[in-house]
Amino acid sequence: MQSFNHFLREKGVSNEVRSLLYHIARSVKYINFSIRAGNTGKCESQNLFGENQLKLDVSADKTIADELEKSELVTVIASEEKDKPEKFKSSRGNFFVAYDPLDGSSLVDANLAIGSIFGIWENADNILGKKVGENLIASCYAVYGPRITLTIAIKDKGAHEFELNDVGEFILSREKVEIENQSKYFAPGNLRACLNNPNYKKWVDFAIENKKTLRYSGGMVPDLHHILSKGQGIFCYPRDKKHVEGKLRLLFECAPFTFIFQEANGIGLNQEGKNILDTVVEDFHQTTPIFIGSKEEIQTVVKFLRKH
Protein backbone atom coordinates (compact mmCIF):
# COMPACT_ATOMS: atom_id res chain seq x y z
CA MET A 1 0.00 0.00 0.00
CA GLN A 2 1.76 3.12 -1.20
CA SER A 3 1.37 6.35 0.71
CA PHE A 4 0.48 9.51 -1.16
CA ASN A 5 3.86 11.14 -0.66
CA HIS A 6 5.91 8.01 -1.44
CA PHE A 7 4.00 7.39 -4.70
CA LEU A 8 4.35 11.00 -5.88
CA ARG A 9 8.07 11.03 -5.01
CA GLU A 10 8.54 7.82 -7.02
CA LYS A 11 6.77 9.49 -9.93
CA GLY A 12 9.36 12.26 -9.82
CA VAL A 13 6.95 14.94 -8.61
CA SER A 14 8.90 17.94 -7.28
CA ASN A 15 9.20 18.55 -3.51
CA GLU A 16 7.27 21.82 -3.89
CA VAL A 17 4.29 20.25 -5.71
CA ARG A 18 4.28 17.30 -3.30
CA SER A 19 4.26 19.69 -0.35
CA LEU A 20 1.44 21.74 -1.86
CA LEU A 21 -0.61 18.57 -2.53
CA TYR A 22 0.07 17.47 1.06
CA HIS A 23 -1.57 20.68 2.33
CA ILE A 24 -4.50 20.23 -0.06
CA ALA A 25 -4.93 16.64 1.18
CA ARG A 26 -4.88 17.89 4.78
CA SER A 27 -7.63 20.44 4.00
CA VAL A 28 -9.72 17.62 2.49
CA LYS A 29 -9.40 15.66 5.73
CA TYR A 30 -10.57 18.67 7.80
CA ILE A 31 -13.50 19.33 5.44
CA ASN A 32 -14.52 15.67 5.68
CA PHE A 33 -14.59 16.00 9.50
CA SER A 34 -16.89 19.06 9.30
CA ILE A 35 -19.23 17.35 6.84
CA ARG A 36 -19.50 14.33 9.17
CA ALA A 37 -20.00 16.72 12.13
CA GLY A 38 -23.29 17.66 10.42
CA ASN A 39 -22.67 21.40 10.25
CA THR A 40 -24.92 21.75 7.17
CA GLY A 41 -26.92 24.83 8.15
CA LYS A 42 -27.40 27.83 5.85
CA CYS A 43 -25.46 31.09 6.27
CA GLU A 44 -27.11 34.47 5.69
CA SER A 45 -24.58 35.07 2.88
CA GLN A 46 -24.68 34.33 -0.84
CA ASN A 47 -21.79 33.81 -3.25
CA LEU A 48 -21.15 35.86 -6.38
CA PHE A 49 -23.61 33.67 -8.30
CA GLY A 50 -26.39 34.47 -5.84
CA GLU A 51 -26.26 30.91 -4.50
CA ASN A 52 -27.02 30.56 -0.78
CA GLN A 53 -23.86 29.63 1.13
CA LEU A 54 -23.95 26.84 3.70
CA LYS A 55 -21.86 27.16 6.85
CA LEU A 56 -19.96 24.26 5.27
CA ASP A 57 -19.18 26.29 2.12
CA VAL A 58 -17.70 29.09 4.19
CA SER A 59 -15.79 26.81 6.57
CA ALA A 60 -14.45 24.66 3.70
CA ASP A 61 -13.30 27.78 1.89
CA LYS A 62 -11.45 29.01 4.99
CA THR A 63 -9.93 25.59 5.69
CA ILE A 64 -8.43 25.44 2.20
CA ALA A 65 -7.21 29.05 2.22
CA ASP A 66 -5.51 28.48 5.60
CA GLU A 67 -3.77 25.32 4.40
CA LEU A 68 -2.60 26.95 1.16
CA GLU A 69 -1.20 29.88 3.13
CA LYS A 70 0.56 27.48 5.55
CA SER A 71 2.27 25.80 2.58
CA GLU A 72 4.14 29.09 1.92
CA LEU A 73 4.25 28.00 -1.75
CA VAL A 74 1.22 29.87 -3.05
CA THR A 75 1.20 33.53 -4.05
CA VAL A 76 -2.41 33.90 -5.20
CA ILE A 77 -5.60 31.94 -4.53
CA ALA A 78 -9.00 32.19 -6.21
CA SER A 79 -12.08 30.50 -4.80
CA GLU A 80 -15.54 30.00 -6.23
CA GLU A 81 -16.81 31.32 -2.89
CA LYS A 82 -14.77 34.54 -3.01
CA ASP A 83 -15.56 37.49 -5.29
CA LYS A 84 -11.89 38.31 -5.90
CA PRO A 85 -8.53 36.47 -5.83
CA GLU A 86 -6.44 36.84 -2.65
CA LYS A 87 -2.68 37.47 -2.52
CA PHE A 88 -0.66 35.95 0.34
CA LYS A 89 1.92 38.26 1.94
CA SER A 90 4.71 35.78 2.50
CA SER A 91 5.37 32.95 0.08
CA ARG A 92 8.59 31.34 -1.06
CA GLY A 93 6.83 29.87 -4.13
CA ASN A 94 4.86 31.33 -7.00
CA PHE A 95 1.93 28.95 -7.43
CA PHE A 96 -1.59 30.09 -8.21
CA VAL A 97 -4.36 27.80 -6.89
CA ALA A 98 -8.02 28.04 -7.93
CA TYR A 99 -10.52 25.90 -6.10
CA ASP A 100 -14.17 25.09 -5.59
CA PRO A 101 -14.22 24.29 -1.88
CA LEU A 102 -17.47 22.34 -1.79
CA ASP A 103 -19.04 21.71 -5.18
CA GLY A 104 -22.68 20.59 -5.06
CA SER A 105 -23.00 21.53 -1.38
CA SER A 106 -26.77 21.95 -1.86
CA LEU A 107 -26.89 18.14 -2.17
CA VAL A 108 -25.60 17.66 1.41
CA ASP A 109 -29.10 17.75 2.93
CA ALA A 110 -30.08 14.94 0.53
CA ASN A 111 -27.06 13.03 1.81
CA LEU A 112 -25.61 12.77 -1.71
CA ALA A 113 -21.86 12.80 -2.42
CA ILE A 114 -20.16 16.19 -2.93
CA GLY A 115 -16.59 17.25 -3.61
CA SER A 116 -13.74 19.78 -3.67
CA ILE A 117 -11.88 20.71 -6.87
CA PHE A 118 -8.37 22.22 -7.16
CA GLY A 119 -6.26 23.55 -10.05
CA ILE A 120 -2.54 24.35 -9.57
CA TRP A 121 -0.76 26.79 -11.92
CA GLU A 122 3.05 27.11 -11.62
CA ASN A 123 3.12 30.82 -12.36
CA ALA A 124 0.87 33.15 -10.40
CA ASP A 125 1.68 36.17 -12.56
CA ASN A 126 -1.50 37.35 -14.14
CA ILE A 127 -3.56 34.43 -15.42
CA LEU A 128 -6.01 36.81 -17.14
CA GLY A 129 -5.54 37.03 -20.90
CA LYS A 130 -3.77 33.66 -21.07
CA LYS A 131 -5.13 30.24 -22.13
CA VAL A 132 -6.40 28.55 -18.97
CA GLY A 133 -4.21 25.49 -19.70
CA GLU A 134 -1.01 27.59 -19.81
CA ASN A 135 1.10 26.85 -16.69
CA LEU A 136 -1.58 24.44 -15.35
CA ILE A 137 0.66 21.68 -13.94
CA ALA A 138 -1.60 19.68 -11.62
CA SER A 139 -5.25 19.27 -10.66
CA CYS A 140 -7.07 17.19 -8.09
CA TYR A 141 -10.51 16.61 -6.65
CA ALA A 142 -11.87 15.02 -3.49
CA VAL A 143 -15.11 13.04 -3.25
CA TYR A 144 -16.88 13.07 0.13
CA GLY A 145 -18.94 9.90 -0.27
CA PRO A 146 -19.07 6.47 1.39
CA ARG A 147 -15.27 6.55 0.85
CA ILE A 148 -13.15 9.69 0.88
CA THR A 149 -11.00 9.74 -2.24
CA LEU A 150 -8.52 12.24 -3.66
CA THR A 151 -7.77 11.87 -7.38
CA ILE A 152 -4.62 13.68 -8.51
CA ALA A 153 -3.30 14.36 -12.01
CA ILE A 154 0.20 15.73 -12.61
CA LYS A 155 1.26 16.99 -16.07
CA ASP A 156 2.43 14.03 -18.21
CA LYS A 157 2.37 11.71 -15.16
CA GLY A 158 -1.21 10.42 -15.38
CA ALA A 159 -4.17 10.51 -12.99
CA HIS A 160 -4.18 8.44 -9.79
CA GLU A 161 -6.72 7.85 -7.02
CA PHE A 162 -5.92 7.79 -3.29
CA GLU A 163 -8.31 6.70 -0.52
CA LEU A 164 -8.37 8.01 3.05
CA ASN A 165 -7.74 5.09 5.40
CA ASP A 166 -8.87 4.68 9.00
CA VAL A 167 -5.71 6.28 10.38
CA GLY A 168 -6.06 9.41 8.28
CA GLU A 169 -3.57 8.62 5.50
CA PHE A 170 -4.27 8.82 1.76
CA ILE A 171 -3.19 5.49 0.29
CA LEU A 172 -2.94 4.69 -3.45
CA SER A 173 -6.17 2.94 -4.46
CA ARG A 174 -6.04 3.19 -8.28
CA GLU A 175 -2.86 3.90 -10.28
CA LYS A 176 -3.10 5.43 -13.76
CA VAL A 177 -6.84 5.85 -14.23
CA GLU A 178 -7.75 5.42 -17.93
CA ILE A 179 -10.89 6.38 -19.90
CA GLU A 180 -11.93 4.27 -22.91
CA ASN A 181 -13.07 5.91 -26.16
CA GLN A 182 -16.55 4.36 -26.04
CA SER A 183 -19.08 4.46 -23.22
CA LYS A 184 -22.30 2.78 -22.11
CA TYR A 185 -23.05 5.55 -19.57
CA PHE A 186 -24.23 9.13 -20.10
CA ALA A 187 -24.78 12.14 -17.83
CA PRO A 188 -26.87 14.68 -19.80
CA GLY A 189 -26.80 17.80 -17.57
CA ASN A 190 -29.02 20.83 -18.13
CA LEU A 191 -31.80 18.92 -19.94
CA ARG A 192 -33.69 22.24 -19.99
CA ALA A 193 -31.39 23.09 -22.94
CA CYS A 194 -33.44 20.62 -25.05
CA LEU A 195 -36.27 23.20 -25.00
CA ASN A 196 -34.33 25.68 -27.14
CA ASN A 197 -31.74 23.38 -28.68
CA PRO A 198 -33.35 20.53 -30.66
CA ASN A 199 -29.89 19.16 -31.45
CA TYR A 200 -29.29 18.42 -27.76
CA LYS A 201 -32.68 16.67 -27.63
CA LYS A 202 -31.67 14.66 -30.74
CA TRP A 203 -28.46 13.56 -29.03
CA VAL A 204 -30.29 12.57 -25.80
CA ASP A 205 -32.76 10.51 -27.89
CA PHE A 206 -29.78 8.98 -29.78
CA ALA A 207 -28.18 8.00 -26.45
CA ILE A 208 -31.46 6.43 -25.26
CA GLU A 209 -31.94 4.57 -28.57
CA ASN A 210 -28.37 3.25 -28.15
CA LYS A 211 -29.38 1.95 -24.71
CA LYS A 212 -26.91 4.08 -22.77
CA THR A 213 -27.31 3.97 -18.98
CA LEU A 214 -28.12 7.26 -17.25
CA ARG A 215 -25.79 8.21 -14.40
CA TYR A 216 -26.47 11.80 -13.18
CA SER A 217 -26.60 12.97 -9.54
CA GLY A 218 -26.52 16.77 -9.98
CA GLY A 219 -23.06 16.90 -8.39
CA MET A 220 -20.30 17.49 -10.94
CA VAL A 221 -17.64 15.86 -8.76
CA PRO A 222 -19.36 12.48 -8.16
CA ASP A 223 -20.74 12.51 -11.72
CA LEU A 224 -17.26 12.94 -13.20
CA HIS A 225 -15.73 10.60 -10.62
CA HIS A 226 -18.20 7.96 -11.86
CA ILE A 227 -16.68 8.29 -15.36
CA LEU A 228 -13.11 7.99 -14.07
CA SER A 229 -14.07 5.06 -11.80
CA LYS A 230 -15.84 3.11 -14.55
CA GLY A 231 -13.27 4.17 -17.16
CA GLN A 232 -16.02 5.42 -19.47
CA GLY A 233 -18.79 8.03 -19.64
CA ILE A 234 -20.08 11.27 -21.07
CA PHE A 235 -20.91 14.35 -18.98
CA CYS A 236 -22.58 17.32 -20.68
CA TYR A 237 -23.59 20.74 -19.45
CA PRO A 238 -24.57 22.79 -22.54
CA ARG A 239 -25.59 26.45 -22.64
CA ASP A 240 -29.26 27.46 -22.56
CA LYS A 241 -31.30 30.69 -22.33
CA LYS A 242 -30.62 30.97 -18.58
CA HIS A 243 -26.93 30.05 -18.82
CA VAL A 244 -25.88 31.71 -22.08
CA GLU A 245 -22.20 30.84 -21.46
CA GLY A 246 -22.94 27.61 -19.58
CA LYS A 247 -23.23 27.28 -15.79
CA LEU A 248 -20.00 25.55 -14.77
CA ARG A 249 -16.96 27.66 -13.91
CA LEU A 250 -13.88 27.57 -16.12
CA LEU A 251 -11.21 28.11 -13.44
CA PHE A 252 -12.81 26.26 -10.51
CA GLU A 253 -14.44 23.27 -12.24
CA CYS A 254 -13.99 22.82 -15.99
CA ALA A 255 -10.25 23.45 -16.45
CA PRO A 256 -9.11 21.29 -13.49
CA PHE A 257 -11.38 18.42 -14.59
CA THR A 258 -10.38 18.71 -18.26
CA PHE A 259 -6.71 18.54 -17.16
CA ILE A 260 -7.42 15.39 -15.11
CA PHE A 261 -9.45 13.77 -17.89
CA GLN A 262 -6.72 14.46 -20.47
CA GLU A 263 -4.17 12.76 -18.21
CA ALA A 264 -6.57 9.77 -18.25
CA ASN A 265 -6.90 9.76 -22.08
CA GLY A 266 -10.28 11.47 -21.97
CA ILE A 267 -11.25 14.82 -23.45
CA GLY A 268 -12.99 18.05 -22.38
CA LEU A 269 -14.52 20.30 -25.04
CA ASN A 270 -16.68 23.42 -25.13
CA GLN A 271 -19.84 23.70 -27.27
CA GLU A 272 -17.77 24.83 -30.30
CA GLY A 273 -15.75 21.62 -30.04
CA LYS A 274 -12.63 23.40 -28.78
CA ASN A 275 -10.42 22.05 -25.97
CA ILE A 276 -11.51 23.69 -22.72
CA LEU A 277 -7.83 24.25 -21.80
CA ASP A 278 -7.44 26.56 -24.83
CA THR A 279 -10.06 28.93 -23.44
CA VAL A 280 -8.64 32.39 -22.73
CA VAL A 281 -9.32 33.54 -19.15
CA GLU A 282 -11.13 36.89 -19.27
CA ASP A 283 -12.67 36.80 -15.81
CA PHE A 284 -11.93 34.70 -12.72
CA HIS A 285 -15.58 33.66 -12.53
CA GLN A 286 -16.28 33.02 -16.20
CA THR A 287 -18.33 29.94 -17.10
CA THR A 288 -18.30 27.61 -20.09
CA PRO A 289 -20.43 24.85 -21.57
CA ILE A 290 -18.60 21.54 -21.08
CA PHE A 291 -18.66 18.12 -22.71
CA ILE A 292 -16.20 15.79 -20.99
CA GLY A 293 -15.47 12.06 -20.94
CA SER A 294 -14.79 9.24 -23.43
CA LYS A 295 -13.05 10.76 -26.45
CA GLU A 296 -15.10 9.35 -29.38
CA GLU A 297 -18.42 9.79 -27.56
CA ILE A 298 -17.71 13.44 -26.69
CA GLN A 299 -16.76 14.18 -30.29
CA THR A 300 -20.10 12.61 -31.35
CA VAL A 301 -22.06 14.79 -28.89
CA VAL A 302 -20.40 17.99 -30.05
CA LYS A 303 -20.96 17.01 -33.72
CA PHE A 304 -24.68 16.50 -32.93
CA LEU A 305 -24.88 19.94 -31.36
CA ARG A 306 -23.13 21.61 -34.26
CA LYS A 307 -24.36 19.73 -37.30
CA HIS A 308 -27.99 18.61 -37.04
Binding site for ligand P6P (CB under 6 A): 103-104, 106, 189-190, 218-220, 247
Residue closer to ligand P6P, measured from CB, 124 or 143: 143
Closest distance of CB 219 from ligand P6P, Å: 5
CB of 254 to ligand P6P, least distance (A): 10
* Residue nearest ligand P6P, CB atom distance: 220
Amino acid sitting at position 249:
R
The nearer residue to ligand P6P, 8 or 276, going by C-beta atoms, is 276
Q: What are phi and psi of 13, to 5 degrees?
A: -75, 135
Which DSSP helix (H) or strand (E) runs through 203? helix 198-209
Nearest of 216, 154, 248 to residue 162 by alpha carbon: 154
Tell me which amino acid residue 253 is. Answer: E
How near is the Cβ of 220 to ligand P6P at its closest, in Å? 3
Of the pair 84, 242, the CB lying nearest ligand P6P is at 242
- Smallest CA-to-CA distance from 217 within 105, 108, 112 is with 112
Are 132 and 280 a contacting pair, CB within 8 Å?
Answer: yes
Q: What's the min distance (Å) between Cβ of 187 and ligand P6P?
A: 8
> Among 63, 260, 86, which residue's Cα sits nearest to residue 179?
260
32 contact partners, CB below 8 Å, separation of at least 6: 142, 144, 148, 164
Nearer to ligand P6P (CB atom), residue 54 or residue 124: 54
Q: How far is the CB of 240 from ligand P6P (least distance, A)?
A: 9
Q: Which is nearer to ligand P6P, 253 or 297 (CB)?
A: 253
